[in-house]
């Protein structure tokens, strides 16, 4: 969920390794190949449009041992996470989701004034801020100084650093142990997965709980969410893979919930292996469901490439037909996932006149690769397009609700995934 702004020297270096990021086995089976793509969070300024733009392979592998679906490390993580322009608080529904989580987990774990809640990749404090009215002490860990500053200004204590074994040991030496460690949409972006999980193990109090939220690879496959694949997302998890990961680090899964966020996420609860906490029935039930879907066998992953091709063909057929009828189309949103979709399908300004975003950081910039201009949301009202292609489709309900007025000129929304679909705001009810 982190946005990187273009800087001049965007050259990475490729590590041509086929070792699994989690278990070290050979992960040489292709899950899906999305071709060559620029770093999809690298938004370009006008004066960068005439320069060469680096493209990297977007080929995803799957490990035959732990079934971690993973991108090879084509770009150095340092290049990717140079600067973030993503402020979680820009999404109203995401902040509301965080507030509900904080209230639920405080009650469930009985957190209070003696507890410590730590969030990894705490961004602008969108989540931890909700602990203050409940009287629970917090600590945010956030590597991007510009977003951490926003959290600190809100009164959310935040340490600007990358999380791993080194930082965990430092925190423990300062007398800190976490009763709760939360990681929402961070696990996929961790280049050194084992160092990150080992750090959580060190920081966690004896009866503490870790909760991790991440897009469920089962939903990604079932609903053609290939656009959630990009260079910044190194790993895609099933619960089966999380079980491997936990066991490797002396942790156990004690509960799991399926959430609708980001097209279908899991929230897993982990505790020390020696903890008195007992796993819920939901854990075994979901593991069984994943096995039934073939996620514990390599051939269970083999049909995804063809599904993705079909999705591309259908979307392009729809857009081509609309242009043939003289329709005007724009985009809504400029998220990372939007750029994988646009680049893989080859949708540029020949289809979309422009796109819009609520994040002022992106205004006046251009999408990577396809070079679609990004304007403020109000540009839609001025242009009155026939169709608006929603790129962050996971927020489609929120967007259509906010943009009901496009019905005034007969405008409609297009959602590209899982199958191209048209939403008429006149007929849309929450």
Q: Does 246 bind Zn ion (CB under 5 A)?
A: no
From the list 66, 120, 109, the residue with the least C-alpha distance to 247 is: 66
Q: Does 62 bind Zn ion (CB under 5 A)?
A: no
CB 253 within 8 A of CB 246: yes
And the tokens for 28?
């040489």
Q: Which residue has the tokens 């009901």?
A: 404
Q: Does 85 bind Zn ion (CB under 5 A)?
A: no
Q: Does 161 bind Zn ion (CB under 5 A)?
A: no
- Choice from 63, 136, 342, 345 touching Zn ion (CB under 5 A): 63
Residue number with CB closer to Zn ion (122 or 238): 238
Residue number with CB closer to Zn ion (23 or 182): 23
> Burial code of 303-335, b = ≥16 C-beta within 10 A, e = fewer?
ebbebbeebbeebeebbeebeeeeeebbbbbbb
Residue number with CB closer to Zn ion (65 or 161): 65
Q: Does 66 bind Zn ion (CB under 5 A)?
A: yes
Residue number with CB closer to Zn ion (66 or 268): 66
Q: Positive or negative, the Cα torsion across 398, 265, 188, 417?
A: negative
Q: Does 23 bind Zn ion (CB under 5 A)?
A: yes
Beta-strand relationship, 204-215 and 265-272: antiparallel
Own/partner pairs, 158-165, CB within 8 angstroms, 24+ separation: 158/122, 158/125, 163/120, 163/121, 163/196, 163/199, 164/192, 164/195, 164/196, 164/198, 164/199, 165/195, 165/198, 165/199, 165/202
Residue number with CB closer to Zn ion (23 or 121): 23
Interface stretch with Zn ion, choices 24-32, 182-190, 220-228, 311-319 (CB under 5 A): 24-32
Q: Does 127 bind Zn ion (CB under 5 A)?
A: no
CB of 62 to Zn ion, least distance (A): 9
Q: Does 138 bind Zn ion (CB under 5 A)?
A: no
CB of 241 to Zn ion, least distance (A): 8
Residue number with CB closer to Zn ion (193 or 388): 193
**Distance between CA atoms of 116 and 325, rounded to whole angstroms?**
59
Helix segments in 5-91, DSSP class H: 77-80
CB of 66 to Zn ion, least distance (A): 3
Q: Does 193 bind Zn ion (CB under 5 A)?
A: no
Residue number with CB closer to Zn ion (64 or 77): 64
CB 213 within 8 A of CB 192: no
- Choice from 1, 10, 20, 156 touching Zn ion (CB under 5 A): 20
Residue number with CB closer to Zn ion (66 or 71): 66
CB 132 within 8 A of CB 103: no
Q: Does 65 bind Zn ion (CB under 5 A)?
A: yes
Binders of Zn ion: how many residues, by CB under 5 A?
Answer: 8
Burial label, 57 (beta-carbon count in 10 A; 0-12, 13-18, 19+):
middle
CB of 238 to Zn ion, least distance (A): 12
Residues that bind Zn ion (CB under 5 A): 20, 22-23, 25, 63, 65-66, 68
């Amino acid at each position: 969920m982190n946005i990187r702004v273009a800087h001049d020297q965007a050259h990475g270096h490729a590590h041509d390794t086929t070792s699994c990021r989690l278990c070290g086995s050979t992960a040489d089976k292709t899950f899906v190949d999305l071709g060559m793509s620029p770093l999809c969070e690298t938004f370009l300024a006008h004066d960068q449009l005439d320069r060469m733009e680096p493209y990297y392979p977007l080929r995803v592998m799957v490990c035959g041992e732990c079934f971690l679906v993973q991108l090879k490390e084509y770009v150095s993580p340092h290049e990717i996470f140079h600067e973030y322009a993503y402020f979680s608080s820009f999404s109203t529904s995401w902040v509301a989701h965080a507030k509900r989580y904080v209230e639920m987990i405080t009650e469930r774990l009985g957190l209070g004034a003696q507890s410590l809640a730590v969030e990894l990749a705490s961004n602008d404090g969108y989540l931890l801020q909700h602990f203050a009215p409940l009287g629970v002490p917090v600590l945010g860990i956030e590597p991007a100084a510009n977003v951490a500053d926003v959290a600190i200004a809100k009164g959310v204590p935040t340490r600007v650093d990358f999380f791993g074994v080194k930082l965990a040991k430092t925190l423990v030496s300062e007398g800190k142990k976490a009763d709760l460690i939360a990681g929402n949409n961070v696990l996929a972006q961790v280049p050194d997965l084992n160092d990150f999980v080992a750090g959580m193990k060190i920081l966690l109090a004896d009866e503490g709980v870790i909760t991790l939220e991440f897009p469920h690879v089962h939903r990604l496959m079932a609903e053609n969410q290939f656009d959630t694949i990009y260079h910044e997302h190194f790993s895609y998890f099933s619960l089966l893979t999380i079980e491997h990961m936990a066991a490797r680090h002396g942790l156990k899964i004690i509960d799991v919930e399926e959430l609708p966020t980001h097209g279908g996420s899991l929230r897993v609860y982990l505790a020390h292996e020696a903890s008195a906490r007992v796993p819920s029935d939901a854990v075994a039930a979901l593991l069984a469901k994943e096995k039934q879907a073939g996620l514990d066998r390599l051939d269970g992953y083999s049909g995804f490439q063809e599904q993705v091709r079909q999705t591309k063909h259908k979307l392009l057929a729809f857009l081509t037909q609309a242009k043939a009828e003289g329709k005007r189309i724009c985009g809504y949103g400029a998220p990372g996932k939007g750029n994988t979709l646009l680049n893989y399908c080859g949708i540029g300004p020949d289809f979309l006149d422009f796109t819009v975003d609520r994040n002022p950081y992106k205004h006046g910039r251009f999408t990577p690769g396809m070079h679609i201009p990004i304007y403020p949301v109000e540009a839609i009202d001025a242009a009155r397009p026939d169709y608006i292609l929603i790129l962050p489709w996971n927020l489609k309900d929120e967007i259509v609700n906010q943009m009901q007025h496009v019905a005034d000129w007969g405008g409609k929304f297009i959602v590209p995934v899982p199958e191209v679909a048209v939403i008429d705001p006149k007929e849309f009810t929450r």
